[in-house]
Structure 1
Amino acid sequence: MTMATGVSICSNALLMLGAQTINDFADQVNLDRAKLCANLYPSQRDTMLRAHPWNCCIKRIVLAPDAVAPAFGYSHAFELPADCLRVLEVGTGGMQIDYLVEGRSIQADTTVLELRYVFRNEVESSWDSHLIDLMTVAMAAVLAYPITQSTSERDSREMKLERALKIAKAVDGQEDPPQTLGDERLLAARLGAGR
């Protein structure tokens, strides 16, 4: 089995559209398709990764505050990691806290910030097979009109993408534990206090 790469994903999408594959993003023989893929792939990848908290694209980090505090509102600002595509959880000491995302920073009233986020995972070989398939379908959808000049092909590919996204999200979500409301320790303390 070959390892997935951005080029293999784009090549498979081109095959789905009945077009010649590419060898790399600077392929001189198929320069038009290679340039098209090189231009469209990074933004489409980021869009698909941001669309759902894929288990293979989640990181945890502890952030220290920036030197300059916000002008008002919160006591500290924390710069988001460069690879952050979507904030999932913000907390301190294992408990979620009040925060605000502004630009490329998080503002909060704490001096240490625990962050769970979707990161720009550029190592496709580490992706779940459903995410690889989804990204291939997404590239076929975005390449459909430029490659085939057919609006009906584009529309058909976009509908297939919607279905594939629902399936991939459902399968990925099945690996997560059931969600609970609020902080479990707080709930346990309240239940314990009532006895």
Structure 2
Amino acid sequence: MNKIEIVNYAQTLLGEAAALSPEGAEAINRIYDTVKKKLLRSYPFACTRKLYVLNPLSEEPEFGFMHKYQIPTDCLRINPHYFVENGGVRVGQCVFSDAEEMRFIGICNVTEDKLDADVAAILSYDLAIETSLGQTSKAELREALKSERARLFAEAKANSAQESVPETLEYECSWSYR
């Protein structure tokens, strides 16, 4: 799906006429980028993951770490396991770490054509939910959209999880503590 298809799907969910361009749906177009980034940050969908390899900046970090890294502008979220396994701390758009090179899987602000169909549909629902009261004044429509969005989100998470290697969890046996 491209941006206009996502916007038109949101318009259809609201019972509005389709637009020829995103600018034709002014209310949706105003919030589009914010809603899209919020959705992409909410869950690490397989279609949004990207491997980043960063080299340290030349300036010395001021917090006692050996290196400072600049996070790329398209990186919306860093896998939190990175800091558990490699140490370091994120401050704004920078990471301070002792690692010589920073390699991590992050959530990327992908273009609409790279979104899975499930994620694009959720984005349309999010846009419709955010603008529903202003365009239709129907609270029951908003609640119906939220309910369907929750179902689609659970389905998209399951589909995305099937495309990934599951994480292994190790549990200690509590029987030995008696």
Query: What TM-score does the superposition give when structure 1 sets the normalisation length?
Result: 0.79
Q: Which residue of 2 aligns with 1:125?
A: 113
Give, in angstroms, the shift of residue 181 of structure 1: 4.5
Q: Which residue of 2 aligns with 1:176?
A: 164
- AA aligned to 1:76 is H
Q: What are the residue-to-residue correspondences of 1:130-145 with 2, within 5 Å?
A: 130-145=118-133
Across the two proteins, how many residue pairs are aligned to each other?
169
Tell which has more relative contact order, 1 or 2 (C-alpha 8 A, sep 6+): 2
Task: Give the ranges of 4+ consecutive aligned residues of structure 1 lying more than 3 Å apart after TM superposition.
Answer: none
Greater helix fraction, Structure 1 or Structure 2: 2
Note if contact 1:7-1:23 (Cα within 8 Å) is conserved in structure 2: yes
- AA aligned to 1:105 is C
Q: What are the residue-to-residue correspondences of 1:23-172 with 2, within 5 Å?
A: 23-27=20-24, 34-88=25-79, 90=82, 96-122=85-111, 124-172=112-160
Q: Which residue of 2 aligns with 1:189?
A: none
Among 8, 12, 15, the alignment partner of 1:18 is 15
- AA aligned to 1:40 is I
Task: State the Cα RMSD in Å.
Answer: 2.0
CA change 1:148–1:65 in 2 (3 A) is same
CA distance in 2 between partners of 1:97 and 1:54 (Å): 23
Unaligned runs of 5+ in 1: 28-33, 183-195
Give, in angstroms, the shift of residue 163 of structure 1: 2.4
CA distance in 2 between partners of 1:160 and 1:181 (Å): 32
Compare 77-86 and 59-68 and name the one that shifted more: 59-68
Unaligned runs of 5+ in 2: 171-178
Indicate the SS of the match to 1:170: helix
Give, in angstroms, the shift of residue 156 of structure 1: 2.6
CA distance in 1 between partners of 2:78 and 2:10 (Å): 29
Query: What TM-score does the superposition give when structure 2 sets the normalisation length?
Result: 0.86
Give, in angstroms, the shift of residue 166 of structure 1: 1.7
Give, in angstroms, the shift of residue 19 of structure 1: 0.6
CA distance in 1 between partners of 2:76 and 2:63 (Å): 26
